[in-house]
């Protein structure tokens, strides 16, 4: 009798479904970022790539500017059970911006300039490959600069009449020397005083492949490898690189996927000077 009872209990346990915890919260839209939760020990795959999962089961994924509407997150439970979770990504419409009066060299660079550009790209790609286990990206982000938004994510720019790649970030107009603050905790992974297109450039890593970039800086106040806390002054707004006036270009990435940082912050506050 005892053996029969034990057998029944074992069968019952085998038939019990796993906890199969899965949640995904964030901006399920083109350019958005979402934070997921799975059972500790589960493996996550997204678009054919393995995604880092924290010991507590947290992970993050990002969606490109032109992400397809129907995507899928694959989870392998600690038990070995494979699950596929469909997610729907909202489509966005983007603005077209025309900018004239740029120096021809900045629109159609020479061979020597291209060599410099390729070196710049290699440095940026290296910084964006980092997959640090820190969870700074879970912190609510703040605006790095308060000012007029002069450029938006996803817009197509036509420079001196020539169509260029989409704009992957947010431009915030502010006077040269305006303080740029860290929008979240992180580690500085790249510092460059004079890149061809972006001038003074800084990258801060927030863990799990999430990073933010700050371009056209007048002065950089941190060093590579330095830890920063949200609200720390890390640089000053400038007009370096390919620009028509002083502003901060603020971008965000999940590895090589370019995200829209404005989706992670509240509406831009009114500048103090405009309140009086």
Distance CA 204, CA 185 (A): 9
- Give one word for 225, left, alpha or beta, with left for phi > 0 and alpha for psi -120 to 50: left
pLDDT digit string (tens) for 222-236? 999 999 999 999 999
Distance CA 187, CA 70 (A): 34
Does the domain at 96-270 match CATH 2.70.70.10? Answer given as yes
pLDDT (0 to 100) of residue 275 = 43
Block means of pLDDT (10 residues each) for the chain, 276 residues, are 42 43 95 97 96 98 97 95 96 79 66 89 95 97 96 81 82 97 98 95 98 98 98 98 93 98 94 50
Cα pseudo-dihedral 20, 46, 33, 151, rounded to 10: -170
User: CA distances (Å), 254 to each of 87, 131, 182, 209, 236, in order?
Assistant: 18, 10, 17, 5, 24
pLDDT (0 to 100) of residue 99 = 65
pLDDT (0 to 100) of residue 276 = 36
pLDDT (0 to 100) of residue 244 = 84
Secondary structure (DSSP) of 63-110: --TT--SEEEEEEE-TTS-EEEEEEE-B-----EEEE----HHHHS--
pLDDT (0 to 100) of residue 186 = 98
pLDDT (0 to 100) of residue 111 = 83
> Is residue 83 within 8 Å of residue 50, measured between CB atoms?
no
pLDDT digit string (tens) for 180-233? 999 999 999 999 999 999 999 999 999 999 999 999 999 999 999 999 999 999
276: its two tokens: 């009086």
The residues spanned by each domain of the chain are 2-88, 96-270
Measured from the Cβ of residue 258, the count of other Cβ atoms closer than 10 Å reads 22
Fold of 2-88: Immunoglobulin-like (2.60.40)
For the chain, the first-to-last Cα distance in angstroms comes to 85
């Amino acid at each position: 009798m005892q053996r029969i009872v034990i057998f029944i209990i074992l069968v019952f346990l085998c038939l019990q479904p796993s906890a199969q915890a899965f949640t995904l919260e964030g901006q399920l839209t083109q350019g958005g970022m979402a934070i997921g939760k799975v059972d500790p020990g589960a493996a996550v795959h997204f678009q054919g790539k393995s995604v880092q999962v924290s010991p507590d089961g947290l992970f993050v994924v990002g969606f490109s500017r032109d992400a397809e509407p129907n995507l899928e997150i694959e989870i392998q439970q600690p038990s070995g059970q494979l699950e596929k979770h469909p997610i729907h990504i909202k489509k966005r419409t983007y603005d077209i911006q025309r900018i004239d009066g740029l120096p021809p060299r900045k629109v159609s660079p020479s061979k020597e300039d291209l060599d410099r550009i390729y070196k710049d790209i290699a440095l940026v790609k290296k910084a964006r490959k980092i997959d640090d286990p820190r969870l700074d990206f879970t912190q609510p982000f703040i605006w790095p600069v308060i000012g007029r938004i002069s450029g938006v994510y996803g817009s197509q720019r036509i420079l001196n009449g020539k169509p260029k790649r989409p704009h992957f970030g947010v431009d915030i107009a502010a006077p040269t020397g305006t303080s740029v603050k860290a929008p979240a905790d992180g580690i500085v992974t790249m510092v460059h005083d004079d890149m061809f297109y972006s001038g003074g450039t800084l990258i801060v890593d927030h863990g799990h492949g999430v990073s933010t970039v700050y371009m056209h800086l007048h002065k950089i106040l941190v060093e590579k490898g330095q830890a920063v806390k949200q609200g720390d002054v890390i640089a000053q707004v400038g007009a370096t690189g390919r620009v028509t006036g002083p502003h901060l270009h603020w971008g965000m990435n999940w590895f090589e996927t370019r995200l829209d940082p404005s989706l992670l912050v509240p509406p831009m506050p009114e500048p103090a000077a405009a309140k009086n």
